[in-house]
Amino acid sequence: MQEPSIFTKIINGEIPSHKIYEDDKTFAFLDIYPITTGHTLIIPKVQVEFLWDLDDEYYTAVMNTARKLALHLRSELGVPFVGEKVLGTDVPHAHVHLIPFVQPHEFHGDQDMNAKPDHEALARLAERLKL
């Protein structure tokens, strides 16, 4: 049996998160090292390392949640674009990044993994964005 990923621990409530959406197959929360305001991660509730290895049911659920949240983020944040990234290199649990942006350079920005997360601001934003 594989070790639970940090995302599995978030789903199970063992690690806190700034959740904005959850259904029976997916879980979405704000990234604590956002590239832009509203940077969101969408994960399946099964621990599979790569998005492309999910079965059709979970893959479709992740993509449907991504679409629903992208439209919501675009509307709620007043941005013209929400980009989607699938990297699959940082956590061994399938996930999709949604990155709201105005200018293309914002979408291509890097995360500052050394920054101290502003959990108060993230909590306020999560309340605003919660579906």
Helices (H), 39-131: 56-77, 104-107, 119-129
Does the annotation mark 95 as catalytic?
yes
Report how far residue 131's alpha carbon sits from residue 128's, in angstroms, rounded to the nearest whole number: 9
Q: Following DSSP, what letter does each residue of 28-42 receive, concatenated?
A: EEE-SS-SSTT-EEE
The one catalytic residue among 72, 95, 108, 119: 95
Residues 6+ apart with CB under 8 A from 1: none
Q: What's the token pair of residue 23? A: 């259904």
- Annotated catalytic residues are 95
